[in-house]
Structure 1
Amino acid sequence: MSWARIMAPVAGAQGDKGLLASAAVLAKAFDAELACIHAPADMADLMPWMGEGFMGGVQVTALESLKEAAVEGARAVGAMAAELGYARTRVLTLESPVWAGLAMEGRLSDVIVFDDAAARGKGPLAEAFQQLVADEQRPVVVARPGLKVGGVALVAWDGGKEASRAVRTALPLLQKASSVVVAGAPGASSRNFDLSRLTEFLGARGVKATTRTLDGSGDAAGLLLNAARDVGADFVVAGAFGHPRLQEFIFGGTTRSLLNSEGPSLFLSH
């Protein structure tokens, strides 16, 4: 089992450079295709404001501006992708309806990479992050500076289905790690779970892991982040908790704290 296609949604701004560089690090580690998916502002989003059967000068100007921005964004993405120097890079600019195209590309990818801004609800791809995690239930990597494959991975475990899905989908990443630590805070969870059961599961799949029981209650995210710092984790693998409501993903407290932290890169699955 490995990852064959890494997807990086981008808006076509210079701020995408860091995200693409991180996604390239991930793709190179698995000799995977790097799909740079340019998601421009969607002209269809303007239609409800234009009035049925009517287009005035302001509306026409707005549409033309969006078209020009999409063309410039596509050029910028192409240039940034070329600078990566990774032969297995593919660039695709989505057309309206953009969200439908983004969802389909996500379904055809093993992992989707976002940056901190989108994960924290900022920037043009914030809604895409929420929808791909919640509605599409796609595994995502929140790439932070210094993203590294082959280092230390800390797995957050509480025996729940979200954590289980995260571990199973992150197996290729864990199999490349130099060290894997399974961490859990029994006092901060309503579930009964045994950390050693997960190490057995991982061991049967070629991943040698140790356990770390976190003492304390209440703030599970804080306990996990402290443990990540203690072990020098390069990645935290965790289940994403929350529920979709009115196109907004309401994150649970632990997930929200992880997303807003200054900790290592995250691998999340809902």
Structure 2
Amino acid sequence: MGPKHILLPVHADHGLDARLAAATALAQQFGATLLCLYARTPPGAGRAISASGMARLGEEDMRAGKRVRRAVETRLAEAGVEWDWHDYPGNVVDALVGEAPLADLIAVSPMTESGGPAVSEPVAEPLLLRSPTPLLIAPDGPAAFGTAMIAWNGSAQSALAMREALPLLRGATAVHIVTAAADIRQFPPERAAAYLRAHGIDSTQHIAEDAGADAAETLTREAERLGADYIVMGGYSRSRLNELIFGGVTRYMLRRPPVPIFIRH
């Protein structure tokens, strides 16, 4: 038992290959269907443009959409996974939020600091805040879902993320609960381990010392040390304002995830 409906934005931006690979790997492992979503923002939106120019842009957009669809469907057919295709007239974040209630997971790309096509750039953070469905942040690199690491700080957000990741965690070959020594809040890691055990999932607990202001780097180091294929974590357990001013684990992981990140706000 695992995720069965994975929502995937399929635009020809710089992150498509990585999120397609991660979503495909999950679909192969759990027998999931990919819900491919192509959002069509009206060509020339927000620009002063002639009717003929608008028509030309519309034709170019249609051709681009067909190219993306052919390329994606070819890869999915070769991978032997099932998919559905949805065209949506409008903003990609609105489209994903609208489809999210009937999806188990949404595969998106990391936020970028600057440069690159803008399609995926604004998606991860607003979607994290608006979506009722967990996100999978898919960076470049191999996509596998054997060894899981839970970034545990004892907050309600980390508990919610762990609970919603149960379908993934049941298929894990190993589960590690990692807590920064100075970052334990309402629920100690023993409570997390007991919860997993009640669901038939064995886990190992780890305390990462000297995290301090570098908790994100510490979690990254622990993921590498443990050979984690993916990280489960809650998003914005501190206020967004604090994270904007002082930095934080969520903002770091949205931009520089070391491995795929299963995240829920």
TM class by shorter chain equals 0.7 to 0.9
Q: Quote the residue 1:81 is aligned against.
A: 73
Percent same amino acid at aligned positions? 26
State the shift of 1:114 in Å.
1.2
TM-score when normalising by structure 2? 0.85
8 Å CA contact 1:202–1:208 kept in 2: the answer is yes
Matched, 1:157 2:152: yes
Residues in 1 aligned to 2:15 and 2:155: alpha-carbon distance in whole angstroms: 36
The one-letter amino acid paired with 1:10 is V
Distance 1:36 1:120, change over 3 A: farther
State the shift of 1:155 in Å.
0.2
Q: Quote the residue 1:54 is aligned against.
A: none
Q: Helix, strand or coil for the counterpart of 2:122? A: helix
Matched, 1:108 2:102: yes
Q: In terms of mean alpha carbon deviation, does 151-160 or 67-76 score higher?
A: 67-76
Q: Quote the residue 2:142 is aligned against.
A: 146
How many residues are treated as equivalent by the alignment? 255
The one-letter amino acid paired with 2:11 is A
Q: Quote the residue 1:179 is aligned against.
A: 174
State the shift of 1:45 in Å.
4.0
Residues in 2 aligned to 1:65 and 1:128: alpha-carbon distance in whole angstroms: 27
Gaps of 5+ in 1: 51-57
Distance 1:250 1:71, change over 3 A: farther
Q: Quote the residue 1:130 is aligned against.
A: 125
Q: Quote the residue 2:230 is aligned against.
A: 235
TM-score when normalising by structure 1? 0.83
State the shift of 1:137 in Å.
4.3
Matched, 1:27 2:23: no
Distance 1:180 1:78, change over 3 A: same
8 Å CA contact 2:144–2:229 kept in 1: the answer is yes
8 Å CA contact 1:112–1:139 kept in 2: the answer is yes
Q: RMSD between aligned alpha carbons?
A: 2.7
Residues in 1 aligned to 2:178 and 2:128: alpha-carbon distance in whole angstroms: 23
Matched, 1:71 2:62: yes
Distance 1:119 1:155, change over 3 A: farther
Residues in 2 aligned to 1:188 and 1:159: alpha-carbon distance in whole angstroms: 8
Gaps of 5+ in 2: none
State the shift of 1:232 in Å.
0.7
State the shift of 1:127 in Å.
2.1
Residues in 2 aligned to 1:152 and 1:235: alpha-carbon distance in whole angstroms: 7
8 Å CA contact 2:31–2:81 kept in 1: the answer is no
Residues in 2 aligned to 1:202 and 1:137: alpha-carbon distance in whole angstroms: 22
State the shift of 1:130 in Å.
2.2
Distance 1:257 1:90, change over 3 A: same
Residues in 2 aligned to 1:162 and 1:228: alpha-carbon distance in whole angstroms: 20
